[in-house]
């Protein structure tokens, strides 16, 4: 079953076309890695899909609900429903600094899903335990390491029970030793068959965890396929050049 379908998506900032005619789909339980050079449009693609940007054209369908169809957005109530199916984890964590760890993970459950406090806290504690953070629920984000903050932000995203989770370079703000702990969490989610789209510079990780890889350059998908093909034996010259640059 397709959880996400993107067709002929484009996004321009003024006259700058940042993504052009992007089509892709992600099935239930699948992990898609998106790689590509800086400025190729990876973040803009994720931000467009998750409705943090308004697209210029094309269609996005999430869990069978249209977010946008041929450039026309769904009515607000439907749009909201579709957006609730998607979770997003950012590079810089984006936790609420004035809220404790527990509050960071309960806030949207209370406000958006209208869960009761006891239920929201129970769900938050369950997820924090899973992230190895049970002893930190009263801490504030500034008291945590980058890796711990990122695990809180993953718990926060999971608390809304998304059908698909997007990561935008979840480890690039972290030291190498903290990167490992986040990659471990993502690996565990993949083993549980969480549907995920991961923008990453960690090519070996992408090769290892992804079911499929998309290579973007200049706002288009240049090459797409199995990790062993796209990363292991790229066909396109631009993919080859990118991979040899970052692995050397």
Ligand X SMILES: Nc1ncnc2c1ncn2[C@@H]1O[C@H](COP(=O)(O)OP(=O)(O)OP(=O)(O)O)[C@@H](O)[C@H]1O
**40 lines the binding site for Mg ion (CB under 5 A):** no
> Residue 168 Cβ, how far from Mg ion at the closest point, in Å?
6
Q: Interface residues with ligand X (CB under 6 A)? A: 13, 16, 18, 36, 38-44
39 vs 64 by CB, closer to Mg ion:
39
Of 107, 90, 85, 205, the closest CA to residue 149 belongs to 90
15 vs 248 by CB, closer to ligand X:
15
Name the segment binding Mg ion (CB under 5 A); options: 15-23, 40-48, 172-180, 239-247: 40-48
> Residue 172 Cβ, how far from Mg ion at the closest point, in Å?
9
34 vs 154 by CB, closer to ligand X:
34
> Residue 200 Cβ, how far from Mg ion at the closest point, in Å?
10
Q: Choosing among Mg ion, ligand X, none, which partner's interface includes residue 61 (Cβ < 5 to 8 Å by kind)?
A: none
Residue among 43, 48, 148, 149 that touches Mg ion (CB under 5 A): 43
Of 25, 5, 7, the closest CA to residue 70 belongs to 7
For the chain, report the end-to-end CA distance as a whole number of angstroms.
Answer: 38
Q: Choosing among ligand X, Mg ion, none, which partner's interface includes residue 247 (Cβ < 5 to 8 Å by kind)?
A: none
Q: How far apart are alpha carbons 172 and 128 in whole angstroms?
A: 22
Task: Give the DSSP letter of residue 21.
Answer: E
* Neighbour order of strands in the sheet with 196-199: 86-89, 164-168, 196-199, 31-35, 212-217, 220-225
41 vs 141 by CB, closer to ligand X:
41
Q: Choosing among Mg ion, ligand X, none, which partner's interface includes residue 41 (Cβ < 5 to 8 Å by kind)?
A: ligand X
Binning the chain into helix, strand and coil, the percentages to the nearest 5 are 40, 25, 35
SS (H, E, C) 41-68: CHHHHHHHHCCCCCCCEEEEEECCEEEE
Name the residues that contact Mg ion, by CB under 5 A: 43
């Amino acid at each position: 079953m397709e959880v996400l379908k993107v067709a002929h998506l484009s996004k321009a900032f003024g006259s700058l076309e940042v993504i052009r005619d992007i089509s892709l789909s992600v099935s239930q339980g699948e992990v898609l890695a998106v790689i590509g050079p800086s400025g190729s449009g990876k973040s803009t693609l994720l931000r467009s899909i998750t409705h943090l940007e308004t697209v210029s054209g094309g269609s996005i369908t999430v869990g069978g609900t249209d977010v946008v169809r041929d450039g026309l957005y769904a009515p607000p109530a439907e749009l909201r429903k579709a957006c609730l199916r998607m979770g997003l984890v950012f590079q810089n964590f984006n936790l609420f600094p004035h809220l404790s760890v527990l509050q960071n993970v309960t806030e949207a459950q209370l406000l958006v899903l209208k869960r009761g406090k006891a239920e929201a806290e129970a769900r938050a504690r369950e997820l924090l335990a899973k992230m190895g953070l049970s002893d930190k629920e009263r801490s504030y984000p500034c008291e945590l390491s980058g890796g711990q903050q990122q695990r809180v932000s993953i718990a926060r995203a999971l608390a809304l029970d998304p059908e698909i989770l997007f990561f935008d370079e979840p480890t690039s703000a972290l030291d190498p030793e903290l990167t490992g702990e986040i990659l471990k969490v993502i690996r565990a989610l993949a083993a549980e068959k969480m549907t995920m789209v991961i923008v990453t510079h960690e090519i070996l990780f992408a090769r290892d965890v992804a079911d499929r890889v998309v290579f973007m350059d200049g706002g288009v998908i240049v090459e797409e396929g199995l990790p062993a093909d796209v990363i292991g034996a790229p066909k396109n010259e631009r993919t080859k050049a990118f991979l040899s640059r970052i692995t050397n």
